[in-house]
Amino acid sequence: MQAVRQILSDVRERGDEALLELTAKFDGVDLESIRVSPDVIQGALDSLPPEVRQAMETARDRIADHHRAQLTPPVQHSSDGISISSSRRPVDRVGCYVPGGRAEYPSTVLMTAVPALVAGVSEVALCVPPDRTTGSVPVSTLAAAALAGVTEVYSVGGAQAIGALAFGTHSVAPVDVICGPGNKYVAIAKQEVAGKVGIAAAFAGPSEVVVIADATTDPRLAAVDVILQAEHGPDGLAWLITWDEAFADAVVAEITTMVEASPRSEDIAATFAEGGYVALVDSPEAALAVSDLIAPEHLELMCKGAEQMAQVVRNAGAIFVGQWSPASIGDYVAGPSHVLPTHGSARFASALTVDDFLKHHHIIEVSPSSYIQGVAENAAVLADTEGLAAHAESIRLRQRILQQGENRNGESK
């Protein structure tokens, strides 16, 4: 936290100069400008292999369809002379953070920018750390930005990117809401600027998965799903919970074989070293109790009775039911955003949705009948109770005017 606060302070005070220095320090890349040219973004899309572009377009469209369904009609209600309706307005500008360094994440571009644009946001800025080898934002990430409709892209990552989006610099206009996952520095930076800007969803930090499984599931499937979130790298969680000791041994054996063969074995091992667990419990009920305590980002139910278990889960970012529902489908094409609460924040928070980019306004209209019927007098009584005389008088003055039939000048009609 101390390191993050120092970075944020530096960005607020020195702007672009700090961003360029911090990018050289942390990413090993010397840049002249952090803004990625629109021509470079379009060129990335044009160079995309056809099958990759088709996959991205399919994912984009499924994400958009899911989030459009969340745009429910405004609520309207009227009783006792008081009419209430709701109005939803999108924020003007959103900043999406997409991780880099260890891997390319074009899927995260789609999972953050598309919901914002479906909500009606007019400007979406994207921050991505530059690749250490090429010195630029990965082509697949830029192509996803073009397909999603991102307004602008900046080659900057880490806590410094969050500072740029929150405070603004010469190059980066400040935003109203920041969304997207990241490492612990990024997640802490978002907590630090919360209040200056809106922070969408919850603590979207390093990846987590809890797999609850039994012998009705192929141990290879349970093993690969424990591994799949762990390959994002350190500081995450990867749990297997079961009530079958022989099954646990079989899954661990498969995990060992798969990790040895994985091209990302170092990242997986780093996650397992601090956050890898096998929990042997007494029953499915006990497994759910452990999972609810963890409140994981991803929960996979790969056991008998998974459908029923899913209905009683209290704390999880996303729940995947059955051995044919890996979290990887949710990461790419299911439709809901894969930006999910981590670090136990699923106890009180949810996945990224269109609501993270919408402001809800109440529109209240009070008719004269509410004063005659006495509903308004209740408000005056409560104002009296709180000792707020002007509040009460604003109501009773209207009551007297209506009762006396006075016009606006106090004269009798």
Contacts of 339 by beta carbon, 8 Å cutoff, 6+ apart = 108, 111, 112, 179, 180, 181, 200, 201, 204, 351, 352
For residues 288 and 309, give the distance between their C-alpha atoms in angstroms, rounded to a whole number.
8
Predicted TM-score of the model (pTM): 0.88
Q: What is the pLDDT at residue 229? A: 80
* Choice among 254, 297, 300, 343 that is catalytic: 297
For residues 169 and 156, give the distance between their C-alpha atoms in angstroms, rounded to a whole number.
12
Closest among 66, 20, 142, 32 to 335, alpha carbons compared: 66
155-173 tens-digit pLDDT: 999 999 999 999 999 999 9
- 160 close to 9: Cβ distance less than 8 angstroms: no
- 165 close to 175: Cβ distance less than 8 angstroms: yes
Domains along the chain with CATH numbers: 2-201 (3.40.50.1980), 208-347 (3.40.50.1980), 372-404 (no CATH)
Q: What is the pLDDT at residue 215? A: 96
For residues 306 and 341, give the distance between their C-alpha atoms in angstroms, rounded to a whole number.
22
Q: What is the pLDDT at residue 289? A: 97
Burial of 309 (0-12, 13-18, 19+ CB in 10 A): buried
- Angle between helix axes 158-167 and 184-193 (nearest 10 degrees) is 20
Burial of 72 (0-12, 13-18, 19+ CB in 10 A): exposed
DSSP, collapsed to helix, strand or coil, labels residue 384 as helix
Burial of 398 (0-12, 13-18, 19+ CB in 10 A): middle
Q: What is the pLDDT at residue 412? A: 47
Catalytic residue flag (residue 298): yes
* Choice among 66, 67, 232, 298 that is catalytic: 298
What b-and-e string marks burial along 92-123, b requiring 16 or more CB atoms within 10 Å of the CB?
ebbbbbbbbbeebbbbbbbbbbbbbbbbebeb
For residues 234 and 69, give the distance between their C-alpha atoms in angstroms, rounded to a whole number.
35
The tokens for 58 are 């399919």
Contacts of 181 by beta carbon, 8 Å cutoff, 6+ apart = 97, 99, 108, 187, 204, 205, 207, 339, 342
Q: What is the pLDDT at residue 291? A: 97
Q: What is the pLDDT at residue 413? A: 45
Catalytic residue flag (residue 297): yes
Q: What is the pLDDT at residue 271? A: 87
Q: How many CB atoms lie within 10 A of CB 238?
A: 27
Low-confidence spans in the chain with pLDDT less than 70: 102, 201-203, 406-413
* Phi, psi dihedrals of residue 232, rounded to the nearest 5°: -70, -25
93-132 tens-digit pLDDT: 999 999 987 678 999 999 999 999 999 999 999 999 999 8
Q: Which residue has the tokens 């990241």?
A: 182
- 337 close to 351: Cβ distance less than 8 angstroms: yes
Q: What is the pLDDT at residue 85? A: 87
